[in-house]
Amino acid sequence: MVEAVPIPAQKLRRALGRPSGWTLAAWLVAAAVATPVITVFSHVFLPKGDIWAHLAETVLGSYVTNSILLMIGVGIGVLMVGVPAAWMVTLCRFPGRRLFEWALLLPMAMPAYVVAYTYVGLLDYAGPVQTALRAALGMPDGLRWMPDVRNLPGAAVMLILVLYPYVYLLARAAFMEQSACVLEVSRTLGCAPAVGFFRVALPLARPALAAGAALAVMEALNDFGTVQYFGVDTMATGIYRIWRGMGDADAAAQLAALLLIFVFVVFGFERWSRGRRSFAHTSSRYRPLPRYELKGWLRAGAIFGCALPVTLGFIAPAGVLFGWALSHPEYWYRASSLLLIRNSFLMAGIAAVLGVALAVFLAYALRLHATPATSLAVRIAGMGYAIPGTVMAIGVLLPFAAFDHAIDRWARASFGVSPGLILSGTLVAVTFAYLVRFLTSSLNTVEASLGKITRSMDHAARSLGRGPGSTLWNVHLPIMRGSLLTAAILIFVDVLKELPATLVLRPFNFDTLATVTYNLASDERLAEAAGPALAIVAVGVLPVILLSRAISRSRPGAGTVEGIVL
């Protein structure tokens, strides 16, 4: 090897990368996403008021402890539920496998706060479980030993029940994308199927598993509805309380900054665990996956392992909601129901389309210009998920209000008219918050999918006379079809369920299914909340089924495995 003398200017140019439109546009997106975070962090340097000192003395410790325990519980829980389920439905054969393949996604349609309030209704003194037990055991006084779910472990379980599909979904996709050849090689090298799982399939799927678990943990840190309803004080609810209750935006922002640091650690872990290895396709040749036939106890275990999360995360709470809704039809035969559905659909649809478009743009900009500058911009644009809903509210409201006031001042000075508020309290503000918050999940999915397309695809298209845009449109997008749908559905369902940012940022009198459900449930009008909650679930279920069908079809050759054409 020959040592070259690097010319400083050349070295600098290489480090910064050539300026390109893609990079500049990526930085624009990054700046928009960073606005709420910068707003929040800028408050850290303000003098800490009395309220902060009071917090530090009293509740801050328990906020932090509760949040940490929740993170650990949810992180371990989602992996323990999601990974075995994904492995079983992807690479084993047992009765009901095809049903579970999509049924395991159903809890995605359930907002955690809905599950939480149905379990409270299900397990409380007047609920069906205790009533039935009392009758069966002949103990009219009640059961003192009935576990109370309104506590930290209860909240963790609720969150695991609805968040494990993140891991399941990404793990399933990863297992399916693994070449059958690799798994067969491991078997010829003397690995039994179970050993092959731990030594080959699992390490290969590691980036997907880490990404899924990290998403779930971040979601748990952001959870507002469940912990608030269960009276568990975490940092997320603390922020809301300090702001709404004590009216101290600065102290709230300071606590928010602390919470952000926690989330950044999780985010950093996710990035780190992906490592520097490029997990490209190990083989370009596809073959149907071999499935191991399960027998006896293993078969029963597989069925149980798949049925349990579906039952607890979807069937039981949905059943309770149905029961309530059917016994009080007057609550949902309301004219406002259609409007609520329209509002929710509109917001979720806009955010999903824009979010996926932005994710594709960013991931492709990074592929084209893998410079540190582009990379940093994309990483910043992808950290919006870190921002808890309540913090997002402050982080969006403050700069938008400042912008509106500036426009207002300028208009009055120049034309003598006041345009009023342009962005604050409009759907633009809500959509902006959704995009900032949910871009991460779509970006992760799109990036992972794009990373699996070998570079020679790009090179082939480019050498055949297509520019970067045409290559994206004609090669990458069709190949990524399945993943794009996954990304869109993730955003759609997330927006539908999103609560705290919507609560705060929505225009006056603009209600969504989520806000109505939460308000009714916190007033203990559980039966009344069943209608809109069920609507969220129903809307959430349809795309989940579509998603499952699309991702199994998107794998070449998979549609005809076992002779079934989807």
Partner 1 sequence: MSGAALALEAIGHSYDGTVEVVSNFSLDVGAGEIVCLLGPSGCGKSTVLRLAAGLEPLQTGLIRLHGETVADGATGRSEPPERRKVGLVFQDFALFPHLTVARNVAFGLSTLPEPERTDRAREALAQVGMADYAGAYPHALSGGQQQRVALARALAPRPSIMLLDEPFSGLDARLREQIRDDTLRVLKRSGAATLLVTHDPEEAMFMADRIFLMEAGQLMQSGPPAEVYARPASAFAAMFFSNINELEGVVKEGAVTTPLGPVPAPGLAGPAKVLFRPEALELRPLDGAHLAGTVTEARFIGVAWLVRVAAMSEDGKALDLQVRMTGGHPPAVGQRMSLQLDPTQAFVFGA
Residues in contact with partner 1 by CB under 8 A are 1-4, 6, 10-11, 13-14, 18, 284-286, 454, 456-457, 459-467, 470, 474-475, 478-479, 481, 556-557
Q: How far is the CB of 14 from partner 1 (least distance, A)?
A: 6
The SS3 call for residue 282 is coil
C-alpha 431/C-alpha 543 separation (Å) is 20
- Give start and end residues of each alpha helix (H) in 197-334: 202-222, 225-230, 235-240, 246, 249-274, 296-310, 316-327, 329-332
Q: How far is the CB of 460 from partner 1 (least distance, A)?
A: 4
Q: How far is the CB of 452 from partner 1 (least distance, A)?
A: 11
Which residue number, 5 or 136, has a Cβ lying nearer to partner 1? 5
Q: How big is the CA angle at 350 (ends 348 and 351), to the nearest 5 degrees?
A: 65
Q: How far is the CB of 469 from partner 1 (least distance, A)?
A: 11
Which residue number, 462 or 549, has a Cβ lying nearer to partner 1? 462
DSSP labels for 382-407?
Answer: TTGGGS-HHHHHHHHHHHHHHHHHHH
Which residue number, 326 or 457, has a Cβ lying nearer to partner 1? 457
* 92 strand-pairing partners: 292
C-alpha 32/C-alpha 421 separation (Å) is 20
Q: Please provide residue 292's backbone torsions phi and psi, each rounded to the nearest 5 degrees.
A: -85, 130
* 93 strand-pairing partners: 293
CB 114 within 8 A of CB 537: yes
C-alpha 465/C-alpha 276 separation (Å) is 31
Going by C-alpha positions, the residue among 542, 516, 119, 154 that lies closest to residue 320 is: 119
Calculate the alpha carbon distances from 370 to 12, 255, 271, 273, 504 in Å. 15, 35, 16, 20, 38
Which residue number, 14 or 412, has a Cβ lying nearer to partner 1? 14
Q: How far is the CB of 448 from partner 1 (least distance, A)?
A: 17
Enclosing H/E stretch for 184? helix 180-188
Which residue number, 273 or 375, has a Cβ lying nearer to partner 1? 375
C-alpha 222/C-alpha 260 separation (Å) is 10
Which residue number, 1 or 417, has a Cβ lying nearer to partner 1? 1
Which residue number, 269 or 286, has a Cβ lying nearer to partner 1? 286
Which residue number, 55 or 450, has a Cβ lying nearer to partner 1? 450
Which residue number, 88 or 550, has a Cβ lying nearer to partner 1? 550
Q: How far is the CB of 465 from partner 1 (least distance, A)?
A: 5
Q: How far is the CB of 459 from partner 1 (least distance, A)?
A: 5
Q: How far is the CB of 479 from partner 1 (least distance, A)?
A: 5
Q: How far is the CB of 185 from partner 1 (least distance, A)?
A: 17
CB 237 within 8 A of CB 224: yes
Instruction: State whether the Cα torsion 463-465-470-474 is positive or negative.
Output: negative
CB 23 within 8 A of CB 17: yes
Q: How far is the CB of 3 from partner 1 (least distance, A)?
A: 7
Look up residue 142 and give its DSSP letter. Answer: -
Going by C-alpha positions, the residue among 247, 223, 248 that lies closest to residue 233 is: 223
**How many C-beta atoms surround the C-beta of residue 312 within 10 A?**
18
Which residue number, 11 or 295, has a Cβ lying nearer to partner 1? 11
Which residue number, 132 or 181, has a Cβ lying nearer to partner 1? 181
Q: How far is the CB of 489 from partner 1 (least distance, A)?
A: 20
User: Which tokens go with 3?
Assistant: 């040592």
Going by C-alpha positions, the residue among 87, 36, 504 that lies closest to residue 298 is: 87
Task: Write down how long the chain is.
Answer: 566
